[in-house]
Structures are given as structure tokens and as C-alpha cells.
Amino acid sequence: MDIINTYEPTPTQKIAHGHAHRYKLFGGAMGGGKSRWLCEEAKELSMQYPGNRGVLCRYHLTDFKNSTLKTLLECFPPELIVGHNQSEHLITLVNGSEIIYLGMSEEENVSKLKSMELGWFGIDEASEVSKGHFLLFQSRLRRRLPSGVFPSYYGLLTSNPEDCWLKDDFVLQGGGDDYIFIPSLPRDNPFLPEDYEAQLRKTYPEEWVKRFLEGSWDELSRGNTVIPSDWIRAAINREIVKEDKKIIASDIARFGDDEIVIQYGEGNALKEQDIAYKQSLMETVGRLIVKSKAKNVKLIVIDDVGVGGGVTDALKEQGAIVLPINAGSRSDDERFFNLKSQMWWYAREQFEQGKVSIINEPKLIRQLGSINYHYRSNGKIMVEPKVETKKRLGQSPDRADAFVMLLWGARSLQDEARDYRRIVTMEDLVRDDYGWGINQGIPESAIPWEY
């Protein structure tokens, strides 16, 4: 059978293919061609040894299916594949070799592995996977081929720089002679768009660039403050350009320990903050309506998750224009893990540019300065989940959350005095090109997440 192989490795991929070490980490920056390399290795080992069997995995099976599996199937000309059992996650090749794919987050898959005999394994984005699982894989490398001989065994890994066991074992060479680390960078990959790197440099913070573009494993700080405290201090009672954007933001709670926060602002300027505890939702709705009428506000931004949903509905019934926020939903900007991360990042930029004014309120100030972010293994910016903040701060950062929503709401609001667009209805006052439409509730794409 004549198979035309269209794969031409980049020079760095070629080096990584060439190493004969048992455990190889092809690690470095985003877009360096790591996943493609991994899938090509899988193809090579499957084709070279008829009847071979290997496992390809990522931590989450959904991530695997959305990315690595697509790359894998692109690597194989269709005539090489005789079967793809999607429920068994098994790809069978013309020469009898098998590739099984898994998500390591599922315990039953891990148990299945314990009884498998493999010729190779591949872990994409290996920083997501524990060292324990890597060691389990190692112990499975003992397959005997149908011909009776043993193939050369390989464990193949890819990862962006991440502060984890990969750094110790591969990058710092603590794993021994069987281990090798081969760096990969986007600039080594001629198949990327010419301005790929330049575009990313423009929009990401410096330490992100070091890590995900320059592939540096040196400074992998985990916690970074989203809004540095000196930017917050500088915003206290700052005079900023007055905007005709009267807005209320509210973080809702009911009978719990958390506060019910109602903030009133004009554009990016926080003017008033009311705090209440243990009120019924209807009391909260009442307070919101009274306040919004007294101030003549254009928009009420509500944390719509959990009990907030009821408040949103009740406010809408009374004719208020509401922007319901589900912070755990997907972001429309690929830099961010979720909407919460995107909103906090927007707040950060507003503080950085000196466009924010806040009242001198110690608890709000402390909360704003206490939220950290880190990078997911795929390079997305992720603002920490609330439970992490709570653990460190000893309180729920409700006031800061409300203010971040207020800024986000102000972003979507037009200033009548400055905007010459014709305004037809109240809804027109609100642009909805961020997130989703006003008064539409939670979008289908919303994903459940303990943010």
C-alpha cells in the first residue's frame, strides 16, 4: 500500500523526533508545534510496529476531543484507519496497531489503564496530569507485539511551561538519563501566521509573554494580583471625566453570611455603597427599585447566579433594564478562561489607565487588591475562584465583585451627551456586544463553574 506522507517536520520537531530517550518532553510555548509532533510520534510508533498499542491522553477528555484528537485525525491519511470506535475511544489501523484515547480525570479510565500493556503513551498538556499518573503509565510499557518481539518503548509528553513535576524531572534533568527535554517556540514553527507572535505580545502581560511565547520555565509565579494596590489607592476620590452613565450594581445574597451589596456609580466613578445582611430577596428588589428611581439609573447590573436570578426576574417585571451577569460563563475573548476573568481584567485596565474613581472605603479597597490570577495550562488568564479568595481573605469579596460588575456595566452603556447615535428605546441605551443580550438571561454557552 502506498501511503503519501505529507508531514514535513519543523527543524525543532525533527530534533525532538530524533532523540531516542525513553521519556521525551517537547515543551515550551504555545504554537510551537507540540501537539502535532506528539500525534506524528503516535503515527510513527503505530506504523513502525504492526500490532502496537498506545494511549494518547489529556487530563480532560473534552479538551482532548476538541484539540488533540482533531490534530491526530489530520495526521492520519484515511486509508490508514480501519476503525474508529467513538464510544470505546479506540482507533484501529490497517496494520493492527491500536490507539486508545483517554481523559485522565475519569477514575474508571485510570483503573482501565492498570491492566493494559502498552508500547507507548502520549500525554498532551502533561502539566495537567499528576506525576502519579505518569508513573502508572511507565509501569504499563511492557507490550509484546504479535510477532513476539518487544517494540522500543516511549513515553511522550508536551507542555507549556508550568510550575510542576515536569520542570524538576525534565527541564532541570532530575529524572535521569532516560529523560530529555526539547524546547519548542512559536518562532520555530513556520506554519503559524507571520504576525502570530506580534499580535499576542500586544495583548498579553509581560510575564505571560515570557512563559507562553518565549517558553521560559524560570519565573513561574502562581499568584499575581489582578489590581495592584497602588493603582487602587490612586483611584480613591480621584476626579475623572463625568459621564452620564448612572448605574447600579448589586451582589446578591440571602440569609447567608455574605453581604448584599448595592453600589451606585456614574460611569467608572463609584458614588455610594449600601450594605445589608440577611434580607429577603423581595426586600432587596424593593431597595434596588427605590434606589434606581431616586437616582434615575439606566442600568442595573446583577450577579445572576444562584439567588440573583430571582432578583433579575423581579426587577424586569417592574420594568427595570437589567444586565444579568453569570461570571462563570464563557468569555467571548479567547484570552480568558471565563467571563469573570475577562471582567476583572477589564477592571484592571481601567485602574491602570487612571480611569476609575472610588470612595474611601477600607473593606472595598482591601477586597479589590486581594484577588489573584494565574494562567491555565493552555495559556488562558484565569482569575481565581471565589473559594480561594475567601480562604485567603477570610471573607467573601462581595464589594469588589459588585464594583467590577459596575465597571463592566458602564462599559456597555452609552453616554447620551457624548454619543450621537439616535436613541430609540431604553434598550438602545445598552450596547450588548459584550457577553450576551440584555434581559436574555443566561446564554446556552454558559458553563457551570465554581468561580
Ligand X SMILES: Nc1ncnc2c1ncn2[C@@H]1O[C@H](COP(=O)(O)OP(=O)(O)O)[C@@H](O)[C@H]1O
Residues lying near ligand X in the complex (CB under 6 A) are found at 7-10, 13, 30-36, 189, 191-192
Residues 280, 289 contacting (CB under 8 angstroms): no
Give the largest CA-CA distance in the chain. 84
Nearest distance in Å: CB 10, ligand X: 5
10 Å CB burial of residue 174 (0-12, 13-18, 19+) is: exposed
∠ CA 344-319-437, nearest 5°, is 40
Choose among ligand X, Mg ion, none what residue 215 binds, the Cβ cut-off being 5 to 8 Å by kind. Answer: none
Q: Does 326 bind Mg ion (CB under 5 A)?
A: no
One DSSP character per residue, 4-20 reads: -------HHHHHHHH--
Nearer to ligand X (CB atom), residue 10 or residue 109: 10
Nearer to Mg ion (CB atom), residue 158 or residue 268: 158
Helices (H), ranges, 114-210: 131-139, 165-166, 196-203, 206-208
Q: What dihedral angle (degrees, nearest 10) is formed by the CA atoms of 373, 228, 369, 383?
A: -10
Nearest distance in Å: CB 80, Mg ion: 22
Nearest distance in Å: CB 35, ligand X: 3
Spell out, one character per residue from 35 to 64, where the chain touches Mg ion: x when CB under 5 A holds, - when not.
x-----------------------------
- What Rg do the C-alpha atoms of the chain give, in angstroms? 26
Choose among ligand X, Mg ion, none what residue 340 binds, the Cβ cut-off being 5 to 8 Å by kind. Answer: none
- 10-to-126, 190, 396, 400 alpha-carbon distances in Å: 22, 7, 49, 47
Phi (first) and psi of residue 183, to 5 degrees: -75, 150
Give the three cell numbers for residue 202.
Answer: 500586544
Nearest distance in Å: CB 34, Mg ion: 5
Choose among ligand X, Mg ion, none what residue 397 binds, the Cβ cut-off being 5 to 8 Å by kind. Answer: none
Which stretch in 30-38, 208-216, 256-264, 304-312 sits in contact with Mg ion by CB under 5 A? 30-38
Nearest distance in Å: CB 38, ligand X: 8
The residue whose Cβ lies closest to Mg ion is: 35
- 317-to-226, 233, 253, 299, 311 alpha-carbon distances in Å: 36, 39, 20, 14, 10
Nearest distance in Å: CB 200, ligand X: 12
Nearer to ligand X (CB atom), residue 32 or residue 397: 32
Nearer to Mg ion (CB atom), residue 72 or residue 301: 72
Question: Cell 510575564 identifies what position?
Answer: 207
Nearest distance in Å: CB 155, ligand X: 17
Choose among ligand X, Mg ion, none what residue 191 binds, the Cβ cut-off being 5 to 8 Å by kind. Answer: ligand X
List of residues contacting Mg ion (CB under 5 A): 35
